[in-house]
């Protein structure tokens, strides 16, 4: 018998060998599983090392988004304080109403925008800490949104105005409902389910693209609600009595600047979330984002 000859594999072993050859690392026998602990993570893959252009783009996104997210809130405060008689939780319906745009932009745009960007761009700490920071920003946004919602209702009741009659109010109501749903689903799916990490892996991995897509859609809904609210308020300002034409013109420019800034925020957040820094050949595991 020739010792150099190799005996053929049995049919079952040959089939298993073919499956193993086709299966990527971390997916033995074609069954999707998390990567083993000793395997290199995506960020540690030398094929994905950032070059100078990648770092410049990263810093540009961080700096520009921070300026826009803080700037839109500052611009709103400037508009309300110098052209809308300020804001206060008082007996004045006008001042009480002025809390609405400030708190809604603070909660839906500034805090939510930072929450999204931190989760996407923060790579310097462990993923569980990034999740907690992401949840913290959204949790802080909740009282802002709730108080903004209550203030506009109280103001409308004092002025005997009808609630939920405009496109702005309907979009805002849908945005709030989706925000609460996203927060609850994200809290239970990506924090509570970590108690049984291995058993809930497939469920959490399936929820990642859904949660990310709905979150971005909710952010754009918030921007659309804010822009329609500005347009609605501008129409009311045109018919106001006792306000000079010069002040109306300046206020028109300010509200237009707020609207344009909101659109730019939506664009840069979408770009930061949807852009992939990895080359086409990179191995990216879904466990890194859940």
The one-character DSSP state at 162 is P
CA 249 – CA 72 distance, rounded (Å):
19
Residue 15 has pLDDT above 80, yes or no: no
Greater model confidence, 36 or 259: 259
CATH number at residue 88: 1.20.120.1770
Residue 114 has pLDDT above 80, yes or no: yes
Which pLDDT score, from 0 to 100, does residue 69 have? Answer: 96
N- to C-terminal Cα distance for the chain? 56
Residues, the chain: 290
Is 218 inside a domain boundary? Answer: yes
Is 16 inside a domain boundary? Answer: no
CA 43 – CA 63 distance, rounded (Å):
22
CA 117 – CA 119 distance, rounded (Å):
5
pLDDT (tens digit per residue) in 51-70: 777 778 888 888 999 999 99
pLDDT (tens digit per residue) in 77-104: 999 999 888 888 877 888 899 999 999 9
The closest of 160, 147, 31, 34 to 88, measured between CA atoms, is: 147
Which pLDDT score, from 0 to 100, does residue 224 have? Answer: 96
Average per-residue pLDDT in the chain? 79
The closest of 217, 236, 250, 288 to 40, measured between CA atoms, is: 288
Is 6 inside a domain boundary? Answer: no
Residue 286 has pLDDT above 50, yes or no: no
Is 286 inside a domain boundary? Answer: no
User: 2-6, 56-60, 196-200, 202-206: lowest mean pLDDT where?
Assistant: 2-6
Which pLDDT score, from 0 to 100, does residue 36 have? Answer: 47
Which pLDDT score, from 0 to 100, does residue 205 have? Answer: 80
Is 56 inside a domain boundary? Answer: no
Is 174 inside a domain boundary? Answer: yes
CA 225 – CA 149 distance, rounded (Å):
13
Q: 84-93 long-range CB contacts below 8 Å, 24 or more apart?
A: 89/151, 93/154, 93/155, 93/158, 93/159
pLDDT (tens digit per residue) in 207-240: 888 888 899 999 999 999 999 999 999 888 887 7
Is 17 inside a domain boundary? Answer: no
The closest of 62, 106, 48, 75 to 285, measured between CA atoms, is: 48
Residue 282 has pLDDT above 50, yes or no: no
Is 241 inside a domain boundary? Answer: yes
pLDDT band at 277 (very low <50, low <70, confident <90, very high): very low
Which pLDDT score, from 0 to 100, does residue 256 have? Answer: 94
CA 281 – CA 108 distance, rounded (Å):
37
Which pLDDT score, from 0 to 100, does residue 39 have? Answer: 41
Tell me how many domains the chain contains. Answer: 1
Q: Domain range spanning residue 167? A: 61-273
CA 179 – CA 184 distance, rounded (Å):
9
User: 23-37, 124-138, 182-196, 247-261: lowest mean pLDDT where?
Assistant: 23-37
pLDDT band at 4 (very low <50, low <70, confident <90, very high): low
Which pLDDT score, from 0 to 100, does residue 243 have? Answer: 75
pLDDT band at 279 (very low <50, low <70, confident <90, very high): very low
pLDDT, average across residues 194-207: 77
Distances (CA, A) of 55 to 62, 123, 165: 11, 13, 47
Helix ranges, the chain (H):
11-22, 52-83, 93-97, 99-104, 112-121, 127-158, 167-190, 201-238, 245-274
Residue 14 has pLDDT above 90, yes or no: no
């Amino acid at each position: 018998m020739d010792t150099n000859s190799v005996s053929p594999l049995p049919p079952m072993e040959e089939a298993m060998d073919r499956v193993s050859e086709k299966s990527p690392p971390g997916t033995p026998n074609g069954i999707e599983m998390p990567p083993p602990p000793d395997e290199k993570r995506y960020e540690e893959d030398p094929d994905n090392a950032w070059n100078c252009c990648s770092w410049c783009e990263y810093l540009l996104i961080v700096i520009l988004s921070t300026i826009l997210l803080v700037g839109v809130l500052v611009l709103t405060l400037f508009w309300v304080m110098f052209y809308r008689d300020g804001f206060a939780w008082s007996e004045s319906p006008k001042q009480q109403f002025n809390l609405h745009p400030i708190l809604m932009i603070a909660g839906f745009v500034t805090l939510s925008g930072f929450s999204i960007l931190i989760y996407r761009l923060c790579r310097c700490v462990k993923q569980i800490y990034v999740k907690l920071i992401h949840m913290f920003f959204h949790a802080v946004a909740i009282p802002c949104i709730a108080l903004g919602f209550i203030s506009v209702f109280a103001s409308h009741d004092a002025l005997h105005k009808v609630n939920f009659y405009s496109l702005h109010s309907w979009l805002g109501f849908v945005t709030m409902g989706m925000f609460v749903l996203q927060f609850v689903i994200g809290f239970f799916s990506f924090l509570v389910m970590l108690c049984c990490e291995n058993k809930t892996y497939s469920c959490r991995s399936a929820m990642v693209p859904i949660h990310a897509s709905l979150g971005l859609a909710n952010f754009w809904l918030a921007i659309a609600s804010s822009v329609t609210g500005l347009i609605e308020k501008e129409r009311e300002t045109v018919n106001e009595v006792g306000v000079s034409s010069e002040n109306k013109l300046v206020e028109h420019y300010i509200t237009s600047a707020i609207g344009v800034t909101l659109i730019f925020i939506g664009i840069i957040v979408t770009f930061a979330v949807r852009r992939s820094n990895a080359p086409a050949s990179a191995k990216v595991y879904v466990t890194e984002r859940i």
